[in-house]
Structure 1
Amino acid sequence: MANTTSESRPFAERRTIDYIPDSERHGRPVSQFTLWLGANLQITAIVTGALAVVLGGDVFWSLVGLAIGQMLGGAVMALHGAQGPALGLPQMISSRVQFGVWGATLPLVLVCLMYVGFSAGGTVLAGQAIAQLSGITPTSGVLVFAALVLLAAVLGYRLIHGLGRLMSLVGVVAFVYLFARLLANHDIAALLAIRHFTVADFLLAMSLSASWQIAYGPYVADYSRYLPRATSTSRTFWAVWLGSVVGSQASMTFGVFAAALAGQAFAGHEVTYVVGLGGGGIAAALLYFAIALGKLTATTLNAYGCVMSVATIATGLAGRRSISAAMRTGCIVGMLAIVVWIALAGQHAFLKAFSSFILFLLAFFTPWSAINLVDYYCVTKERYDVPALYDPNGRYGRFNFTGLVVYAIGVLVQMPFIATGFYTGPLVGALGGADISWIVGLAVPALLYYVAVRGNRAHVPDRLILPGDAAASVAAASATWRTQPAARAAGESPR
């Protein structure tokens, strides 16, 4: 398989949602490990872990619940990431198989809201770190941070992986130091011996970490799609899973201990408290740098993913295969402008709003994950028609109403079980306040979708069809479309 050398590849990325040909594939699965390790060794993950204690849990059972949710949610996330090398596409364009070329717009819009929400929360914390590091105001810190994200997202894929490698190194050193400082003068065994198990608190901890992992699902393949096509699914899965689970569990464990030991000194003052552990001088400056770098890595992922989602929406509606460099930059600027506005407006009420936001996100992304994974691994069995993903009149049609209906059911069936600051379902009280919506949101749509489509596989090609096989794709799509006149008249996918 021919790959261009690193010297012949331009540093600035030129592709958006178009297929990555073999000649441009490069890298190894270890790059996925360092990217997701670095992306999760960050202040927002610390805050997320702290919530398990801030909202009522003890240390021992919070750590156990976070670890279980981490592993389960990480598996969902890594299964998405493993699609990248085979398809050579960013994550969300594959939703056109399940929802139709136009129908995929619905989950894409919701994904963009997710990017904005996570980015705004991270920008608040990064702005604080930059302000403390440089002596400017927090507002100026937010603006400086946004400019750095803009530069990194415009340059794209290679710089993002470089940030991941740098942050994985800086993050490991910083966290080893922080754990040593935090635990040096405290009896951790005594803290772990205090155990007050409640189902609600345990499930809350699981939901916090599972939601953290599942929320990566809509863009994880964006960062594995340049790997050589021969890269095995299992190697990609384990590289993504280990990096994300190890990184996030380390951060959340620190957050649990910090919240338990510091109490009110931590909540609402997360950046100041973390840096205060290092004392002053050079150590404090390096910790502020590590916090800012961690948020730069994660927020760049969000901005880059937003470009992929907006490009997928625009090209699907316009019948195009990619967007221009100017439009790509414009998307990043527009997204960051909204992020900055939200960050500046909400920077003083971050912790409570963020906890509600990440839990409520589950209602919209677990059904999408369930449908996408069941279709890819159990129904089509990795046999996609890549050229047809760009054609509203092709194999997958404009709308796949089966996928859209199952998705809507998957969202609605979670409502009785959701417990957030935005909304609390009627069955939450009977469960002692526990939020199990993410479990329902994975299981129900996965089963419904599989049952609904398993008997009708006319849309499934007999093999993976790539752009080089365009003639075969057109012939297969035409034959299928001619046999489905009713579906064609309705603009529906022939499922």
Structure 2
Amino acid sequence: MSTVDEVASAAHSRRYGIEIHGIEPIPTTLRHGRPRSLFTLWFGANTQFATLSVGALTTAAFGLRLIPAILAIAVGTLLSSTVVGLLSTRGPNTGLPQLIQTRGPFGWFGNLPAALSTAIGGIGWYVVDTILGVFILRNLLGIGFTASLAIMVVGQLIVPIIGYRMIHALERGMSVLLICVFAIVTCYVGGRAHLAPAASPSLGTIGAFMLAVSVTAARGLGWSAYACDYTRYLPAGTSPRRVFAAATGGSTLAGIWIGGLGAALGTAAAVTDPSSMVSQLLPPTLGRIVLVALLLSTLSSTVIDLYSGSMAALAAGVRIPRWVSVVVVCAIGSVLAWWAGQHSFTDTFQNFLLITSYWLAPWATVTVAALFRFDRDVAPTPAQLADRRRRFGPGLPATLLGVIASIPFMSQTLYTGPIAHAYPTVSGFGHVIGCAVAVFAYAVISRKARA
């Protein structure tokens, strides 16, 4: 893009407000912003109802006591937030979104499964967050599921269509609002929580603890494939340490706080309907105010799901304008949200978390290893990343080996692996084994390829 084109594109963006850039590198003349914006972005994105619901699963569904549940949430959050922080540092260097950069270790065609799975994951998280919003609308307005879904869909489209700047602005505002709301909820729930859950863990304390770590990390790892999407506009000389600290700090603080609050809620209320989980513990008027704020909190998450889900679709080779991709992703997700809303929320949510994490965990491990250790001296240029002749890299087979290694440990209502079936308490270790196998395989394959 020439200098004249860059100036024209910048003027166009200011005039109409809609981001016109897709997956191409962001020109240096259009770079702007400071790393601190990442703190509010990831704090706002994680201070939401899905985080609360995952925390509630650790006590209400897995049967952990409150203190071990909060510890498991802290471990899972730190793991996933660190990955998001590390990957975020790569955005200012190239001006490229996350899934274009992973063409380095995966190759152009080898990266397609990651792009497709990220697009599907973005749609899946949109479904989860939309259903949570629908639960709130039904509770507030007393209307049906379909009508509530229609309202949610219309309200969630505007911000991701406008794009990057609007998303950062929204998350800044949401961070202030949601701190106030969740502080109120924390005060009320704190006196009603119990150290012991209603039921004992069916997997044993260790098994339940590892499962809680897994689902908490899975929720946070869902952001890892998006990380550079929100740092690619930062100036090229931006400090990687400041980027890492801001992204990791915002995600960690929100994840532990809201996840821990959810764990406390899980000891005091049922989680079959997440909105009633909150409203039944608060005075009626305050409960409605909090539910309105929680409804807005789903927006802070769905805008990222739609924006980065649409970017993943473009990275997979779909050739349409970015805003059109947002509309398509939203349409697919809305249909799936209607279907998923007819089933048990708790079972559907838990299955979704585990299924996505079996791919995301080894993928994220390989991506971090490739970008920050094994390939740090041979990082490809943007032109090389766009070259389809670089078909496959060692990242894809390494990730697949990690997924295969975790299959015997899989444990959910859709499928239970042989080891998880025989020894249920070790099922939560599947992600650890998958990550270890993936990074070891990548180290071996990449070194042999260079040799």
Same fold, TM-score > 0.5, yes or no: yes
Whole-angstrom distance in 1 between the partners of 2:275 and 2:134: 10
| Residue from 432, 439, 444 that aligns with 1:439 | 432
Alignment match, 1:213: 220
Find the residue that maps to 2:294 and give its secondary structure.
Answer: helix
Q: 1:436: how far off?
A: 1.2
Alignment match, 1:104: 111
Determine whether 1:308 maps to 2:311: yes
Find the residue that maps to 2:415 and give its secondary structure.
Answer: coil
Determine whether 1:385 maps to 2:381: yes
Contact kept? 1:199, 1:434, Cα under 8 Å: no
Contact kept? 1:20, 1:225, Cα under 8 Å: yes
Alignment match, 2:231: 224
Change (3 A) 1:133 1:388: same
Alignment match, 1:338: 332
Contact kept? 1:418, 1:436, Cα under 8 Å: no
Q: Deviations over 1:172-213 (max 9, x none)?
A: 1011000111123x476x659x99972101111111211112
Q: 1:97: how far off?
A: 1.2
| Residue from 3, 10, 20 that aligns with 1:14 | 20
Q: Which runs of 5+ in 2 are unaligned?
A: none
Q: 1:152: how far off?
A: 1.2
Find the residue that maps to 1:454 and give its secondary structure.
Answer: helix
**1:320-469 matches, cutoff 5 A:** 323-325=319-321, 328-347=322-341, 348-381=343-376, 383-393=379-389, 397-400=390-393, 402-428=394-420, 429-430=422-423, 432-454=425-447, 456-457=449-450
**1:155-234 matches, cutoff 5 A:** 155-184=162-191, 186=192, 198-234=205-241
| Residue from 280, 284, 292 that aligns with 1:280 | 284
Change (3 A) 1:242 1:24: same
Whole-angstrom distance in 2 between the partners of 1:158 and 1:294: 18
- Larger CA Rg, structure 1 vs 2: 1
Determine whether 1:43 maps to 2:39: no
Contact kept? 2:64, 2:200, Cα under 8 Å: no
AA matched with 1:329:
W
Q: 1:307: how far off?
A: 1.3
Determine whether 1:267 maps to 2:274: no
What percentage of residue pairs aligned between the two structures are identical?
27
Q: 1:248: how far off?
A: 1.4
Structure 1 stretch displaced more, 448-457 or 332-341: 448-457
Structure 1 stretch displaced more, 140-149 or 235-244: 140-149
Find the residue that maps to 2:158 and give its secondary structure.
Answer: helix
Contact kept? 2:91, 2:231, Cα under 8 Å: yes
Contact kept? 2:140, 2:288, Cα under 8 Å: yes
Find the residue that maps to 2:168 and give its secondary structure.
Answer: helix
Whole-angstrom distance in 2 between the partners of 1:92 and 1:227: 17
Structure 1 stretch displaced more, 411-420 or 428-437: 428-437
Contact kept? 2:401, 2:441, Cα under 8 Å: no
Contact kept? 1:178, 1:277, Cα under 8 Å: no
Find the residue that maps to 1:261 and give its secondary structure.
Answer: coil
Change (3 A) 1:163 1:278: farther
Contact kept? 2:419, 2:427, Cα under 8 Å: no
Whole-angstrom distance in 2 between the partners of 1:403 and 1:346: 33
Whole-angstrom distance in 1 between the partners of 2:403 and 2:396: 11
Find the residue that maps to 2:423 and give its secondary structure.
Answer: helix
Find the residue that maps to 2:20 and give its secondary structure.
Answer: coil
TM-score w.r.t. structure 1 length?
0.82
Contact kept? 1:56, 1:201, Cα under 8 Å: yes
Find the residue that maps to 1:333 and give its secondary structure.
Answer: helix
Whole-angstrom distance in 1 between the partners of 2:256 and 2:138: 28
Contact kept? 1:60, 1:195, Cα under 8 Å: no
Change (3 A) 1:229 1:340: same
Higher relative contact order (CA 8 A, sep 6+): 2
AA matched with 2:366:
I
Q: Deviations over 1:264-318 (max 9, x none)?
A: xx2212112313444233x334322211211111111111111111111116xxx
Whole-angstrom distance in 2 between the partners of 1:224 and 1:95: 15
AA matched with 2:272:
G
Q: 1:361: how far off?
A: 1.3
Q: 1:15: how far off?
A: 0.6
Alignment match, 1:293: 296
Change (3 A) 1:134 1:187: closer
Q: 1:384: how far off?
A: 2.5
Whole-angstrom distance in 1 between the partners of 2:57 and 2:130: 19
AA matched with 2:311:
M
Whole-angstrom distance in 2 between the partners of 1:24 and 1:187: 49
Whole-angstrom distance in 1 between the partners of 2:217 and 2:308: 20
Contact kept? 2:314, 2:320, Cα under 8 Å: no
| Residue from 80, 83, 87 that aligns with 2:94 | 87
Whole-angstrom distance in 1 between the partners of 2:350 and 2:170: 27
Contact kept? 1:88, 1:226, Cα under 8 Å: yes
